[in-house]
Amino acid sequence: MAIIQNPLDILDKYFGYSAFREGQQRVIDQVLQGDDSLCVMPTGGGKSVCYQVPALAMEGTVLVISPLISLMKDQVDALHQLGIPAAYINSTLSTEEYFGTMDNALEGKYKLLYVAPERLDSESFLNQLQKMTIPLIAIDEAHCISQWGHDFRPSYRNIHRIFDYLNSRPIVLALTATATPEVQDDICQQLHIPPVSRVVTGFERSNLVFSVVKGQNRDQFVKEYVQKNKNESGIIYAATRKAVEQVYLLLEKSGIQAAKYHAGLSIDERQQQQDRFIMEDARVMVATNAFGMGIDKSNIRYVIHYQMPKNMESYYQEAGRAGRDGLDSDCYLLFSSQDVLTQRFLIEQSPDPSRVSNEIKKMQVMVDYCHTEGCLQKHIIKYFGEEDVEDCGRCGNCTDTREQFDVTVDTQKVLSCVIRMGQRFGKTMVAQVLTGSRNKKLKELNFDELSTYGLMKGRNAKDVADFIEFLISKNYLQVESGPYPTIFVSEDGKDVLLGKVKVWRKGEMVTTVIAKDDPLFNELRAMRLKLAQEAGVPPFVIFSDKTLRDMVAKMPATNEELLTVQGVGETKLERYGEVFLEIIDSFSTQQA
């Protein structure tokens, strides 16, 4: 393969992009100058390009150390689609495949070789590396090297052993999306990266729209949203296996084909469900936080948290799986006060009791996020240590124009009912008393004799329970932190009962359509799926959604015009150009 020296030419020819993103240019310049570097960029920021472009500009094979086995195959598939020779070595290879790959590697056939860190524990593997020309070692997910990171991997500590085996020391490039300043220091220290060689870009994800939905029926919201966006890929995260099964059933009943993933399923079943989602046999994935590490699918248009997650780190990582391709994507968090108890329960099950109080503190920060009225994106980035952040102008709070209604009288009805019931019951029971339910248990407790019994007759008990949820979120009611979520009237609530303050409630948050429907885009997308199925690779590896949207915008008629579309390089033009140009051509003829 001929070596091209100019990085921008490589980006254009192979990747089909016309400019580097923030930070990429600097990292690549440093690497090509021979400096070791640490690159901290958010998910979707374009870290891979930072070592893939140098790989094409350097003699030899770049070694990429990655802890995510499932990601390796996708990355290598994607590189093959770009016409770049690459391979991976991990435990999924048979002995025969391993030796075949190693033989090719020793002959210098690959520009990039991905390896799992555990390989570095093997003396014989390290001896083999000695025979190769390795100009650069890229260490992906570099936070795994640090004990302070959230995903420490002991094998990462052995990375430095490679240097003892190689004849000349390669350049080192460490990359991560999640590293607090403390973790960054640790990575630099362990890999001897000078502090000046750190490239840290902002944490903001400018194509993500964050929203928090409170005091609303979440099943209804999820059903409506998924229906409205049924052609788009999305993930719905739930906190427990039971909740995953519930949401999965809910979607199934509404005629939506979903995949599901949680630790209660066998390894094979999990793999099968994951493949259905990646290959777009199922558009929606309902999962616990066990799902997602190493998922590289770039066209995830929404991530809905059906319940509040345990902390901000998890939230940003999970929600951040939306929109890696840079197109607008939604991140909804559906909050209920019950979630706080669920998370507290899960945290208290932790095998390490010394971490419980810290975890509870972190969860409290998550609860604060759910209640903030300020910019949500700003709230997140500030948490990660960035100062001087402006409001994003996109999130649910920044764009909230919902009308407010005076609900003081309804609030008084609820609060006085809670008091009359002795402040010893949960929201469902209170809602039943208010709506005049004939439930046997209410009679046994003589609640049908209360003056508040049936005060909200004619209203749906679920709606009243949602209204109670709203009152909890506004702190007029509070939830007991014991084993049962019983509710009681707060000091603020007492002021409402005394008529000192009025209560206002905004209208419901309505579900929206994230990506506008476009007949040509749909045709291109269908062709992409067909080609992907034939090639046995995920659709987004052929072309990203962004590339298809750019085709719709530019309507290329010739090969030269198609090359100006973002994400179309020479190899992809050769492989797929004709089919896609044909679709565009016949579409324009029909329109004419």
Give the containing element (helix H, strand E) for 94. none
Q: Which is nearer to ligand ADP, 177 or 418 (CB)?
A: 177
- Does 46 engage in binding with ligand ADP (CB under 6 A)? yes
Minimum CB separation of residue 556 from ligand ADP in Å reads 17
One residue of 201, 298, 329, 452 binding ligand ADP per CB under 6 A: 298
What's the number of CA atoms in the CB half-sphere (13 Å) around residue 153? 21
The site that binds ligand ADP (CB under 6 A) totals a number of residues, namely 18
- Does 324 engage in binding with ligand ADP (CB under 6 A)? yes
Q: Which is nearer to ligand ADP, 19 or 513 (CB)?
A: 19
Q: Which is nearer to ligand ADP, 197 or 544 (CB)?
A: 544
Minimum CB separation of residue 297 from ligand ADP in Å reads 10
Query: Which residues, numbered 518-557, are part of the site for ligand ADP (CB under 6 A)?
Result: 544
Contact 156, 191 (CB under 8 A): no
Six-digit token string for 370: 């759910």
- Does 278 engage in binding with ligand ADP (CB under 6 A)? no
Q: Which is nearer to ligand ADP, 36 or 74 (CB)?
A: 74
Q: Which is nearer to ligand ADP, 223 or 321 (CB)?
A: 321
- Does 81 engage in binding with ligand ADP (CB under 6 A)? no
Neighbour count for residue 507 (Cβ, 10 Å): 10
Among the listed ranges 13-21, 86-94, 224-232, 432-440, the one in contact with ligand ADP (CB under 6 A) is 13-21
What's the number of CA atoms in the CB half-sphere (13 Å) around residue 41? 24
Looking up tokens 């084993």 gives 483
Minimum CB separation of residue 567 from ligand ADP in Å reads 6
Q: What is the DSSP string of 170-212?
A: PEEEEEES---HHHHHHHHHHHT--GGGEEE-----TTEEEEE
Residue nearest to ligand ADP (CB): 46
Q: Which is nearer to ligand ADP, 36 or 141 (CB)?
A: 141
Looking up tokens 């939905």 gives 213
Looking up tokens 């090639």 gives 535
Q: Which is nearer to ligand ADP, 232 or 325 (CB)?
A: 325
- Does 431 engage in binding with ligand ADP (CB under 6 A)? no
Q: Which is nearer to ligand ADP, 178 or 486 (CB)?
A: 178
- Does 47 engage in binding with ligand ADP (CB under 6 A)? yes
Minimum CB separation of residue 45 from ligand ADP in Å reads 4
Minimum CB separation of residue 55 from ligand ADP in Å reads 13
CB contact set of 309 (below 8 Å; sequence gap of 6+): 237, 239, 289, 315, 318, 333, 343, 366
Q: Which is nearer to ligand ADP, 116 or 503 (CB)?
A: 116
Q: How far is CA 420 from the centre of its chain?
A: 45
- Does 77 engage in binding with ligand ADP (CB under 6 A)? no
Write each residue from 359 to 398 as x if it is in contact with ligand ADP (CB under 6 A), else as -, in one continuous string.
----------------------------------------
One residue of 13, 21, 153, 157 binding ligand ADP per CB under 6 A: 21
Q: 3-state DSSP call for residue 277?
A: helix
**Listed residue (267, 258, 265) closest to 285, CA to CA:** 258
- Does 26 engage in binding with ligand ADP (CB under 6 A)? no
Minimum CB separation of residue 227 from ligand ADP in Å reads 28
- Does 17 engage in binding with ligand ADP (CB under 6 A)? yes
Are β-strands 477-479 and 487-489 bridged in parallel, bridged antiparallel, or unpaired?
A: antiparallel
Q: Measure the CA–CA gap between 66 and 87, rounded to whole angstroms.
A: 13
- Does 43 engage in binding with ligand ADP (CB under 6 A)? yes
Six-digit token string for 348: 């208290």
* Cα separation values, 258 from 250, 299, 307, 468, 547, Å: 10, 16, 18, 31, 26
Q: What is the DSSP string of 504-563?
A: EEEPPPPP--SS---HHHHHHHHHHHHHHHHHTS-HHHH--HHHHHHHHHH---SHHHHH
Q: Which is nearer to ligand ADP, 381 or 503 (CB)?
A: 381
One residue of 7, 23, 44, 323 binding ligand ADP per CB under 6 A: 44
Q: Measure the CA–CA gap between 168 and 173, rounded to whole angstroms.
A: 16
Q: Which is nearer to ligand ADP, 49 or 64 (CB)?
A: 49
SS3 content of the chain, % helix, strand, coil (to 5): 50, 10, 40
* Cα separation values, 60 from 50, 63, 389, Å: 17, 10, 42
One residue of 28, 49, 300, 363 binding ligand ADP per CB under 6 A: 49
Q: Which is nearer to ligand ADP, 270 or 321 (CB)?
A: 321
- Does 292 engage in binding with ligand ADP (CB under 6 A)? no
Q: In the chain, what is the straight-line distance between the N-terminal and C-terminal CA atoms, in Å?
A: 44
Six-digit token string for 352: 């390490």
One residue of 28, 38, 41, 520 binding ligand ADP per CB under 6 A: 41
CB contact set of 349 (below 8 Å; sequence gap of 6+): none
Q: What is the DSSP string of 368-379?
A: HHHH--S-HHHH
Write each residue from 561 to 580 as x if it is in contact with ligand ADP (CB under 6 A), else as -, in one continuous string.
-----x--------------
Q: Measure the CA–CA gap between 61 and 50, rounded to whole angstroms.
A: 15
Among the listed ranges 39-47, 66-74, 278-286, 413-421, the one in contact with ligand ADP (CB under 6 A) is 39-47
One residue of 325, 339, 466, 469 binding ligand ADP per CB under 6 A: 325
Among the listed ranges 44-52, 380-388, 451-459, 569-577, the one in contact with ligand ADP (CB under 6 A) is 44-52
Query: Which residues, numbered 434-463, are part of the site for ligand ADP (CB under 6 A)?
Result: none
Torsion of CA 569, 52, 63, 76, to 10 degrees: -40
- Does 48 engage in binding with ligand ADP (CB under 6 A)? yes
* Site residues, ligand ADP (CB under 6 A): 17, 19-21, 24, 41, 43-49, 298, 324-325, 544, 566
